[in-house]
Chain A
Amino acid sequence: MLLAILSGFILAILLPLLKNILRGGLFILLSALPLSLFVYFLSWLPEVKAGGDLLFSYQWVPSANVNLSFQLDGLAMLFCLLITGIGSLVFIYTSSYLKGHPYLGRFYGYLSMFMASMLGLVLSDNLLLIFIFWELTSISSFFLIGFNNDSEASRKSALLALSITGIGGLFLLVGFVLLNQAGGHYSFTALLNSSPDLASHPMYGWILFFLFIGAFTKSAQFPFHFWLPGAMKAPTPVSTYLHSATMVKAGIYLLARFTPVLGETVWWNGTLTLVGGVTMLYAVIHALFRIDLKGILAYSTISALGLIVFLLGIGTPESLLAATVFILVHALYKATLFLVTGIIDHETGTRDVTRLAGLNKVMLPVGIAAFMAALSNAGIPPTFGFLGKDLIYDATLRSGSLFVLLTGAAVVTNICLLFTGFKAGISPFVGPLPQEFKQVHLPSPLMWIPPLLLASCGIVFGLFPFLIEGSLLVPAVSSLLSTAPDFHLQLWHGFNIILLLSTITIGSGIFLFYYLQSSESKLAWVSRFEPFSPKSVLVGMAKGFALFSAAWTNLWQNGKLRHYVFTIMAFLTVLLAVRFLQGIRLNLNLQSLSDLAFYDVAVLLIMATSILFAVFTKSRLQALASVGVMGFCICLIFLFYSAPDLAMTQFSIDTLTVILFVLVLQKLPGYIKEESKAIMWRDGILAFCFGTLICILALEVLQEPLHREISKYYAENAYTMAKGKNVVNVILVDFRGFDTMVEITVLAIAALGVSGLLRLSTRKPENK
């Protein structure tokens, strides 16, 4: 099982090596992988039908309780067969569709990576594993949408899809973590057994919220649906595979999977019914006005996804059955229609339904496939789609008090879906063939056999539902329900209200198809509402946020050094001030002032004067000289108060700095004429406040008792251990010798910097 899941990744890794061997027409050989996987999963059918617990567990990160555990039940089986089955056809189709494309190898790499992630997603039993595979599908989808990476629109769409589904994935992760905290397990099967506790858990609402956002973004539910039409920029095989048949169903898979664990509450059913209902109506009405074939299919896909969510929301056994059947129905006909669209696009070069007509005359097999798919889409007997629609009406009619409303919504949706199906599957093929398409010819069988095969499945399953009923559908539905389902699919139910509804649907759909002609002007009319669409709102919000952050950055990071200094100092001042507001303990011992010697006072006075002078003088040289005088005053203070080493250092350094400064000063311009008085006052007040706070700080600390253990250690050991009499020197060169060495290194680096700067050529840049 592990190998089956990982084989796609392995293939993706090996492809760069295989690329040169496969150059030419041999890429079709790669379809062997999905085909053999399809057969492999088929071989499990009897066991799944028997209802055995098929758990495959491999140790991975046992310490974090994350194991590679996979579970193959009916629901997973349904998806696995869809993924590998449609995957095989898409692999075959692509080999001809993108024949000779320089990056075909890369394309197959992404495709098999996606297939493997999708398989992993539906088979995983561990929530964290589900999340990992979930993100992997988003990432491979990103690469596939942006496959035509020289087109800007395609890159933008890829980014939009990734950001929406990626954000959704993060929400999902949060949901899973909460679920783990509430349920105590990351394992799905373990959660299933404790589900009665979850619905009453205080975090239940949040779990639903996060889970729903994850599922709705992935499955393109309103208001997150807008990435899907953009994703149609991808090559058609990708649209077929990811954006109609499999990946967008991942969200639905998730909802279906969690129905037995979290479902059957008002919040669960109400939200899903509402969101699904809004999505299916909103999207299908949009689909009516599209003229691009892929646009029609994209919106009808969103609508179909909405329909499935809607059915899951109703939550009765009938509706769950209808949802399961509809997943299969939709995958079969929608994939066919996409593949047909791809052929049309490939051969005629256009996807505009207003121009396409009469293609039956040049590509009959394709037309047949499209016709069968359109019938199944429309739900006309004896197709599988008819069965699906019957079940939907059956489900909505039995949904309880709101059944009129829900049935009405379902009927409207189905009418419009029928219209879109006919528009995409029938109208390009009927009528007279325009002159411009006379040269069009049937493509290679590799391209038209896959859609024909899929479409025939839709008919065969409709005629002989027992083929898949017992083996596939019953196990799938039973994994959604606690009790074993009891149903029997059949085409003919007798005359009843469901049949009546079906007839109404088909009749009004066909009427709509004849009456409503697609045209540019209608599309333009719909586009007028674009500014109110969720996409515009979201993109607008993103733009607004970008503007806000730009303004915010410009406010604080405006590139003016003074501004930074001011901000930092003001913040520090406020911090200190808040601390001091809580109380200052100052009892100044004014008596000590009487012990002052006159030279102390003299030095301090000179110092204060020179500082004042340095600040306020208009001459640079005077300011510099004042700073020098101040330095010498400090030197004297050191000397008076028992620090001869400091005095010597200060003396030499001060002298050196002043000399250096004077040498440079002559090359610099005079002071700038100062700015406004207001700014000077502002800076002055800030500086005064900060200076005062430092002064208070110093006075307060001076009252605290001093701990001299460290000094004592040095005083006692300077001579006995290090044989030096000058304790300060001994500390520097012996006890803290390494620090001093690093300090010398710093000086050396500064010296290197200075010499580098001096050698720097000051030739002005050319453009000045």
Chain B
Amino acid sequence: MEILLSFITGFLYASGIYLMLRRSLVKMILGLILLGNGANMLIFLLGRMVKGEPPIIPDAAKTLAGIYADPVPQALILTAIVISFGLQAFAIILMERAYKFVQTDDLDQMNSTEEDI
């Protein structure tokens, strides 16, 4: 599974970057989302994959023992997901407003500073 997931992660990165390099603002943001998910997958992957052993201490025990999924990458990814949501929400609204202002969603034309508008 790790091997396949490595490929998927690379694929996520590649498609994210490809979309970010397109002219359309919508594609740029989709690319951003893909790239963010790719990063999450990479962290998750590097914390190693463990099936069916969530890092939750059983009722009877006081500590985790034996095989368990690594809690640290999970905490990191949880934070990352939430933050990237903040970023995406802001970017989406910004895109909408920017379009209303300059009447284009072509990134190549959105390259002037405010004086020129």
Contacts and interface: CB of A to CB of B under 8 A. Distances in A.
Nearest to B55: A727
Contacts of A760: 97
A566 interface: yes
A614 B34 contact: yes
B78 A667 contact: no
Contact of B44 (A643, A661, A687, A746): A643
Given A592-B3, A657-B33, 8 more contacts: A634-B40, A642-B53, A653-B85, A660-B92, A687-B14, A702-B46, A726-B55, A757-B93
Given A592-B1, A671-B26, A718-B64, A643 B107 contact: no
23 contacts: A560-B111, A561-B111, A565-B17, A593-B3, A611-B12, A615-B18, A615-B19, A623-B26, A641-B44, A641-B49, A641-B69, A656-B89, A664-B92, A668-B25, A668-B96, A672-B105, A687-B18, A695-B6, A698-B42, A708-B70, A715-B55, A726-B57, A750-B89
Contacts of A26: none
B95 A588 contact: no
Contact of A728 (B75, B83, B95): B75
B21 A719 contact: no
A646 B78 contact: yes
A627 B35 CA distance: 11
A562 B23 contact: yes
Contacts of A634: 37, 40-41
A734 to B, nearest CB: 11
Interface stretch (A37-45, A387-395, A600-608): A600-608
Interface string A632-652: 001001101111111001100
A691 B11 contact: yes
Interface string A681-713: 001101110111111001101100010101100
Contacts of B82: 649, 653, 743, 747
A643 B41 CA distance: 12
A611 B34 contact: yes
Interface string A542-579: 00000000000000001111100110010000000000
A627 B85 contact: no
Contact of B83 (A695, A699, A743): A743
Interface of A: 558-562, 565-566, 569, 588-590, 592-593, 595-596, 600-601, 604, 607-608, 611-612, 614-615, 620, 623-624, 627, 630-631, 634, 637-638, 640-646, 649-650, 653, 656-657, 660-661, 664-665, 667-669, 671-672, 674-675, 683-684, 686-688, 690-695, 698-699, 701-702, 706, 708, 710-711, 714-720, 725-728, 731-732, 736, 739-740, 743, 746-747, 750-751, 753-754, 757-758, 760, 762, 764-765, 768
A608 B8 CA distance: 7
A611 B14 CA distance: 10
Contacts of A732: 75, 78-79
Nearest to B29: A661
A103 B83 CA distance: 59
B21 A588 contact: no
Contacts of A590: 3
What is the predominant secondary structure among interface residues of chain A facing chain B? Answer: helix
A561 B14 CA distance: 18
B106 A716 contact: no
Interface residues of B, number: 93
B3 A699 contact: yes
B15 A690 contact: no
Contacts of B94: 757
Interface of B: 1-15, 17-30, 33-34, 37-38, 40-42, 44-57, 59, 61-65, 68-72, 74-75, 77-79, 81-90, 92-97, 99-101, 105-108, 110-112, 117
Contact of A725 (B8, B42, B57, B100): B57
A359 to B, nearest CB: 56
A119 to B, nearest CB: 49
Contacts of A608: 8, 11
A600 B3 CA distance: 12
A740 B51 contact: no
A656 B79 CA distance: 16
A688 B97 CA distance: 33
B5 A637 contact: yes
A664 B24 contact: no
Contacts of A683: 17-18, 21-22
A667 B93 CA distance: 11
Contacts of B8: 604, 607-608
Contact of B46 (A607, A687, A698, A746): A698
Contacts of B1: 592, 595-596, 600, 641
A702 B74 contact: no
A600 to B, nearest CB: 6
A701 B46 contact: yes
Contacts of B62: 719-720
Q: Give 6 closest A-B pairs by Cβ, nearest first.
A: A691-B14, A695-B10, A559-B111, A642-B69, A750-B86, A715-B64
A574 to B, nearest CB: 14
B93 A664 contact: yes
Contacts of A750: 86-87, 89-90
Nearest to B59: A725
Given A661-B92, A688-B14, A671 B27 contact: yes
B70 A711 contact: yes
Given A691-B17, A702-B6, A627 B33 contact: yes
Given A608-B8, A615-B15, A728-B75, A667 B21 contact: no
Contact of B48 (A693, A706, A727): A706
B15 A611 contact: yes
Nearest to A736: B75
B70 A614 contact: no
B40 A640 contact: no
Given A687-B14, A727-B56, A565 B20 contact: yes
